[in-house]
Amino acid sequence: MQFVTQQPTSKAPAEWFTGDVWWDVIVAGQEPSRMRANLVRFAPGARTHWHSHAVGQTLHIVSGTALIGTRDGTVLEAHPGRTVTCPPGEEHWHGAAPDRFMEHIALWEATADGAPETTWAEPVTDAQYTGSRQTYDGPAAE
């Protein structure tokens, strides 16, 4: 067992995000592990560009109000304690509501064959970002 040396907080690349976003790498697993986890902080209105993950992605909301969108126009609103999964290959985006900061833990895996783990596409438009929201009101994850 060992402590992982933490990297400094870094600003997320503008070619993948709209608005101000920062992340802390929690873990970037080394073989045989393929685990990836980042704590990501979004300024109000900030969001990812459209993207997909070869092995899927899980988002656990830590603080604020998260918005998660899919290509069919669905925009999910998620609050702290909620966990949302995106299946392999599903194009989606996620970010903060326009009036609140948001933090989530993003979990995903590298591919076993070394192929790209994330495929990035175009920015999310304002119309896509402001689409009608669905909120899940069931029990929070324990």
SS3 percent helix, strand, coil of the chain, rounded to 5, is 5, 45, 50
What is the average per-residue pLDDT within 2-11?
90
Q: Is the pLDDT confidence value at 142 over 90? A: no
The answer to whether the beta carbons of residues 91 and 54 sit under 8 Å apart is no
Average pLDDT in the chain: 92
Percent of the chain with pLDDT over 70: 96
Structure confidence at residue 2 (pLDDT): 81
pLDDT band at 140 (very low <50, low <70, confident <90, very high): low
Query: What are the structural domain ranges in the chain?
Result: 21-115
Identify the CATH homologous superfamily for domain 21-115.
Jelly Rolls (2.60.120.10)
Ramachandran region, residue 55 (left: φ > 0; alpha: ψ -120 to 50; beta: rest): alpha
Q: How many angstroms separate the CA atoms of 69 and 64, rounded?
A: 16
The answer to whether the beta carbons of residues 20 and 41 sit under 8 Å apart is no
What is the radius of gyration, based on Cα positions, of the chain?
Answer: 15
CB atoms within 10 A of CB 36: 20
51 Cβ neighbours under 8 A, 6+ residues apart: 16, 91, 92, 93, 118, 119, 120, 121
Task: Read off the pTM.
Answer: 0.90
Q: Is the pLDDT confidence value at 141 over 60? A: no
pLDDT band at 114 (very low <50, low <70, confident <90, very high): confident
Quick: pLDDT tens for 77-113. Answer: 999 999 999 999 999 999 999 999 999 999 999 888 8
Quick: pLDDT tens for 17-37. Answer: 999 999 999 998 777 788 999
